[in-house]
Amino acid sequence: MDESALFKLTHGLYVLGAAEKGGRLCGSVVDAVMQVANKPLVIALSCHNNSYTKSVIEQSGVFSLSVLCKNVAPFVVANFGFQSSRNVNKWDNVDYELKDGLPYLKQNLAEIRAKVLQRIVYDSNTLFLAEVIDSRNTDCGEPLTYNNYRDYFKNDVIKSFNDYKQQKEKEKEMAENTEKKWVCTVCEYVYDGDVPFEELPDDYVCPVCGVGKDMFEQR
């Protein structure tokens, strides 16, 4: 069997949104969405079983979809597709609007709100059959497809995620450095001068107990 044959089935790309009971928002990128009935208007959504958003939809029974357009920023896909809402408040990293408690990207082609009718659990995925209860056609641009993602978009998405990670690391490092104080290990005097401790002359001594610079440590 050649599983790459399945790549010939065309999909779009969407940002899925859901809200926990207390209002915390979560979301992920999905491609496995399609309309499966007209009356009622039913769509199918398939989520990986380890998706946090999936577990929230199981609780809330509703979700939102923002249809992505071709000129979406690569970081939007990285943000929602490369990290889990378990650890990150992904919606804080993008421009979004809350409508009836569910989040939508500000830049999208269409918005769909759906209510779960049925759930089928496979080893790898959970399939939701859901009725569309609200929808808006917001823009007439071109939809981004999963094939576009594989053909030319993926590298930009990976790059934007690496840049974001690096920026986060830098911010963490700076926060750690600014929070840490130099403390005299002999008398517990906390250095609070204007000159950074590292730039003090080698003969600097503790103003309280008189020991040298080497007796200070960062805490």
Ligand X SMILES: Cc1cc2nc3c(=O)[nH]c(=O)nc-3n(C[C@H](O)[C@H](O)[C@H](O)COP(=O)(O)O)c2cc1C
Q: Least distance in Å: CB of 203 to ligand X?
A: 54
Tell me: does residue 46 bind ligand X (CB under 6 A).
Answer: yes
Q: Least distance in Å: CB of 82 to ligand X?
A: 6
Tokens, residue 74:
């690569």
H runs (alpha helix) in the chain = 52-60, 74-81, 146-148, 154-179
52's CB contacts (< 8 A; 6+ apart) are 26, 28, 84, 85, 86
Piece of the chain touching ligand X by CB under 6 A; list 43-51, 115-123, 175-183, 199-207:
43-51
Q: Least distance in Å: CB of 97 to ligand X?
A: 19
Tell me: does residue 10 bind ligand X (CB under 6 A).
Answer: no
Size of the site for ligand X (CB under 6 A): 21
Tell me: does residue 17 bind ligand X (CB under 6 A).
Answer: no
Tell me: does residue 149 bind ligand X (CB under 6 A).
Answer: yes
Tell me: does residue 31 bind ligand X (CB under 6 A).
Answer: yes
Within a 13 Å sphere around the CA of 162, how many CA atoms are in the beta-carbon half? 6
Strand 125-137 with 42-48, pairing: antiparallel
In the bound complex, which residue of the shown chain has the CB atom lying closest to ligand X?
Answer: 81
Q: Over the Cα atoms of the chain, what is R_g? A: 25
Q: For the chain, how many residues are written?
A: 219
C-alpha distances in Å from residue 62, one per residue of 42, 117, 120, 124: 13, 10, 16, 21
Tell me: does residue 81 bind ligand X (CB under 6 A).
Answer: yes
Piece of the chain touching ligand X by CB under 6 A; list 23-31, 133-141, 159-167, 210-218:
23-31
Q: Among residues 14, 52, 28, which one has the least CA distance to residue 146? A: 14
Q: Nearer Cβ to ligand X, position 47 or 105? A: 47
Q: Under the rule (CB under 6 A), what is the footprint of ligand X?
A: 13, 26, 28-32, 46-48, 51-53, 77, 80-81, 83-86, 149
